[in-house]
Amino acid sequence: MTPVLPDGPLVDEAVGRLVRPYTVSDGRTRATSHFTLVTMVRATGVQTQGAFGLEHAQVLALCAQPVSVAEVAARMHVPAAVVKVLLSDLAEGGAVVAGDAPPPSPDHYARPDQDLLEAVRDGLLKRL
């Protein structure tokens, strides 16, 4: 059964965030795996062993496609240190893997439109 996930953090308009970031990571502040803000992570589809919370499920949902740690933190509205702890939990269970960004598509290397580049150059020269 797939859990139903809220669109964003649990927030009350009057009091703010209902769950404080340090409670999301059970008070842990250090990740057991090495992640940087630009580390790309993705879900593996492996079912994890153990009890994980709603936030772990949110991280997994965000990692369906390769995404950076910074992007996960921004979308969840929690500090990156908290996301790194959650990702460490999931990585230890084999549910996520870290790695480089996916290779760019062949279109990425296509030559830019010469007319567009000249128009941009001309526009810049007029402004200077």
Per-residue pLDDT of 13-25, as tens digits, reads 554 444 555 555 5
Percent of the chain with pLDDT over 70: 65
Phi, psi (degrees; rounded to nearest 5) at 11: -130, 135
Predicted confidence (pLDDT) at residue 87 exceeds the cutoff of 70:
yes
Per-residue pLDDT of 50-83, as tens digits, reads 667 788 888 899 999 999 999 999 998 888 888 8
Q: What's the confidence (pLDDT) of residue 52?
A: 77
CA-angle at 85, arms to 81 and 4, nearest 5°: 105
Per-residue pLDDT of 29-43, as tens digits, reads 565 677 888 889 999
CA distance 43 to 77: 20
Residue 97 in tokens = 């893997």
Q: What's the confidence (pLDDT) of residue 67?
A: 92
Q: What is the pTM of this model?
A: 0.58
> Radius of gyration over alpha carbons of the chain, in Å?
20
CA 37 vs CA 50, 103, 117, 124: distances in Å: 26, 19, 33, 34
Predicted confidence (pLDDT) at residue 46 exceeds the cutoff of 90:
no
Question: Per DSSP, what are the bridge partners of residue 29?
Answer: none
